[in-house]
Structure 1
Amino acid sequence: MHQISPHAVDAPRPHTGTVARNVLLAADVGGTHARIGLVRADAARSGEYTLTTLGYRQYACADYPSLAAILSAFLGDTSPQPAAACIACAGYVHGDALVNANLPWPVSATAIARELGIDRVDVVNDFEALAYAAHYAAHADSIHIAGDAALADDKIRLALGPGTGLGAAVLIPGSSRPSVLSTEAGHAALAPRTALEHAILRHLGGEAAHVPNERVLSGPGLLHLYGALCAIRAVQPKFETPAQITQAALAANDALATETVDVFCAWLGSLIGDLVMLFDAFGGVILAGGVLPQIVPLLQRSAFTTRLADKGVLHDVLARVPVRLIEHGQLGVTGAARWYFDHAQDDIGLNKRDLETGGNTSV
């Protein structure tokens, strides 16, 4: 996934009252849910800033005709009104168009700025924002999955997670703050390793079709994987949702559901091992997304770790790569705010005085 270039649009503001330059409308938008927060940045003694969430709410994307409608519903008569918005969104943007088949509506920063009357709207990759937030999150708030216990903050790390799609970003340490490289790993070709995985790939796409990683390694991908295994095993499918599959696997009362989750975890481990080597991300892996928190015990006892490390000469090194799972929750919103206030200080001159006073104006 790719970082979207910020769009700044001058538009008439529909709201009246106080507008604060240090208050941001921050959003984390996926294919299923939109998590919206009002976040304030305050100057800290260290010369950095602290974030305070003034309001937060989760919305079902399918219940609204547009993202602007969700943002407008959240804002209501909120005071102070934010001068800017930063939207962390799954997808790739070409110009002002967001390319993502998993969203129920088009997303345009220009249109959102115009409809809400907000001076500046930035759109960034959802996992780029998540990686920013994860950098500041405490290790105690995560679950150890594999490798060494602690992530190495002074080395490159990988953030990845299956949800409605598959997102991934690379966290690169810096002297003052990290940089994040967004990726489109979810749309790269799915690479089979075992005979069963080759059979699954043939079932899903035939010999020539492109089958992306997220066709299997996502929430909907669990259902695709289950359907393929049912066809290969000549069994009539009885589950219709990813949740039904994971619940049956957790209860250990359906062999094909268990096999589906086992194959899913193993294939995910194989992909992560490849990405760790590709990006030199030996500082650790941060797992997120909506799927993995639901199957933690299955993930921990699956072939995930074995497949991650099974890469030849680097086996012993990969076996020690720390892998930790974080609850996605509000991290995407926090990450969008981190991204904005880090860049706002550089790009639009938001200074320490603004953070101390709020840079308030009345409209």
Structure 2
Amino acid sequence: MQGLKFVADVGGTNIRLAMVENGRISLIKKYLCKDFESIDDAIIHFQNEVTDQAFVAGCIAIACPVNDDIVTMTNHTWAFSISALKAHLSLAHLFVINDFTAVAHSLPTLNHKQVVQIGEGHALEHGNIAVFGPGTGLGVEHLTYTDGGWHTLDGEGGHVDFAPTEEDDLIIWQYLYKKFGRASAEEVLSGRGIVNIYRAFCEHEGDSPKLSEPSEVTSAGLDNTDKHARKAITQFCQIMGSFAGNLAVNLRTTGGVFIGGGIATRLQDFFVKSRFREKFEAKGDMAHYVKNMPTYMINEPDHGLLGALAFLTQQTQRLQNDE
């Protein structure tokens, strides 16, 4: 397909846009969503800033469900019709996907400089891939290769049950069960999750919590200025290992399990030295099954845009093949 294309990565606070040139992203711009009344305005502003030509196609990765023509953001006021946006921008093709779908599509394109491998293992070409990211919630996505290229297997993996594997996990599980009547993975592996872990340990030892924000818990844990915060980030990394191992067993992730999200990035040095990989492989009789599957932390800030590009490239190629 000839003509200029764009990709966008839209969160609750920022929208990042880039042009596609020679199969690569370029001229990346970041804007505050609140500075624009609509997503149309943001894209048109970007277009006017970087080129005097019209876009012919684009792909938008956005942090909310994308199930039909109407897209309504969860953590921002923007809402739009995909067909109306396509018409307003005079595009031949417009694809709108969930942001974690974009993250998944970026993974096969990343090189060794864009990820940090945790432990041993070797990825098989076209092997199944899983990715999860503790952030505001817990995003989970799966990727499998077919004759038509890479395809995501959508679901709500962040809402599965939290499975304790040791006594400290039981302390967390009991706290969550008493508070919510159920302990889900998202209530452990997320921003509020790391606070839940911290409060569970405080309550268990009869201490009043002094910290209330995820950033406070991670900072105090990394600085080792609060024993409960230190224990919280330690357990957080271990639980991530167990959860990653469950994804590996479920999907036979010979292409690897990837970890993204702001919290994991903030903990990177601590995380690399943690028991994450040990807990990943601690699957009893199935330890041999996951032992050679690699685990990675994503170390590429533009992976959302790269994933939108990968999806756009695959879809436009499919359309050309159908002509």
TM-score of the superposition, structure 1-length normalised?
0.77
Residue aligning to 1:93: 66
Deviates more, 1:196-205 or 1:257-266: 196-205
Q: Deviations over 1:133-180 (max 9, x none)?
A: 2212212332121222x4222422222222232222223235684333
1:303 Cα offset (Å) = 2.6
Quickly say closer, same or farther: Cα 1:58–1:234, change in 2 above 3 A: farther
Quickly say closer, same or farther: Cα 1:257–1:116, change in 2 above 3 A: farther
Match of 1:113 among 86, 92, 99: 86
Match of 1:340 among 309, 312, 315: 312
Answer yes or no: is the 8 Å Cα contact 2:73–2:79 preserved in 1.
no
For 2:278 and 2:13, how far apart are their aligned partners in 1?
31
Quickly say closer, same or farther: Cα 1:114–1:174, change in 2 above 3 A: closer
Quickly say closer, same or farther: Cα 1:52–1:167, change in 2 above 3 A: same
Quickly say closer, same or farther: Cα 1:261–1:26, change in 2 above 3 A: same
Residue aligning to 1:187: 159
Quickly say closer, same or farther: Cα 1:288–1:207, change in 2 above 3 A: closer
Spell out the pairing of 1:167-186 with structure 2 (5 A cutoff). 167-174=139-146, 177-186=149-158
Residue aligning to 1:36: 17
1:319 Cα offset (Å) = 3.0
Aligned pairs, how many? Answer: 321
Q: 1:159 aligns to what SS in structure 2?
A: strand
Quickly say closer, same or farther: Cα 1:318–1:63, change in 2 above 3 A: farther
Q: Deviations over 1:247-280 (max 9, x none)?
A: 2222222211111111211111111111111111
Match of 1:319 among 273, 279, 291: 291
Residue aligning to 2:4: 23
Quickly say closer, same or farther: Cα 1:22–1:105, change in 2 above 3 A: same
1:328 Cα offset (Å) = 3.9
For 2:205 and 2:36, how far apart are their aligned partners in 1?
40
Answer yes or no: is the 8 Å Cα contact 1:35–1:56 preserved in 2.
yes
Q: Identity of paired residues, percent?
A: 26
1:327 Cα offset (Å) = 1.8
Match of 2:249 among 260, 277, 281: 277
Deviates more, 1:313-322 or 1:28-37: 28-37
Answer yes or no: is the 8 Å Cα contact 2:64–2:98 preserved in 1.
yes
| 2:202 partner letter | C
For 2:15 and 2:188, how far apart are their aligned partners in 1?
23
Answer yes or no: is the 8 Å Cα contact 1:35–1:330 preserved in 2.
no
Answer yes or no: is the 8 Å Cα contact 2:176–2:182 preserved in 1.
no
| 2:206 partner letter | A
1:119 Cα offset (Å) = 4.7
Quickly say closer, same or farther: Cα 1:208–1:305, change in 2 above 3 A: same
| 2:7 partner letter | A
Residue aligning to 1:360: none
Residue aligning to 2:200: 228
1:70 Cα offset (Å) = 3.5
Q: Deviations over 1:206-238 (max 9, x none)?
A: 387454422321234323332333333333333
Match of 2:275 among 278, 287, 303: 303
Quickly say closer, same or farther: Cα 1:183–1:153, change in 2 above 3 A: farther
Answer yes or no: is the 8 Å Cα contact 2:130–2:140 preserved in 1.
yes
Residue aligning to 1:361: none
TM-score of the superposition, structure 2-length normalised?
0.85
| 2:8 partner letter | A
Answer yes or no: is the 8 Å Cα contact 1:96–1:110 preserved in 2.
yes
1:26 Cα offset (Å) = 0.9
For 1:250 and 1:122, how far apart are their aligned partners in 2?
41
Q: 2:113 aligns to what SS in structure 1?
A: helix
For 2:71 and 2:182, how far apart are their aligned partners in 1?
21
For 2:92 and 2:148, how far apart are their aligned partners in 1?
28
For 1:196 and 1:218, how far apart are their aligned partners in 2?
18
For 1:293 and 1:194, how far apart are their aligned partners in 2?
25
Residue aligning to 2:240: 268
Unaligned runs of 5+ in 1: 1-19, 43-50, 352-363
Answer yes or no: is the 8 Å Cα contact 2:114–2:300 preserved in 1.
no
Answer yes or no: is the 8 Å Cα contact 1:163–1:218 preserved in 2.
yes
Q: 1:291 aligns to what SS in structure 2?
A: helix
Is residue 81 from structure 1 mapped to residue 81 from structure 2 by the alignment? no
Aligned-residue RMSD, C-alpha:
2.9
Quickly say closer, same or farther: Cα 1:195–1:219, change in 2 above 3 A: same
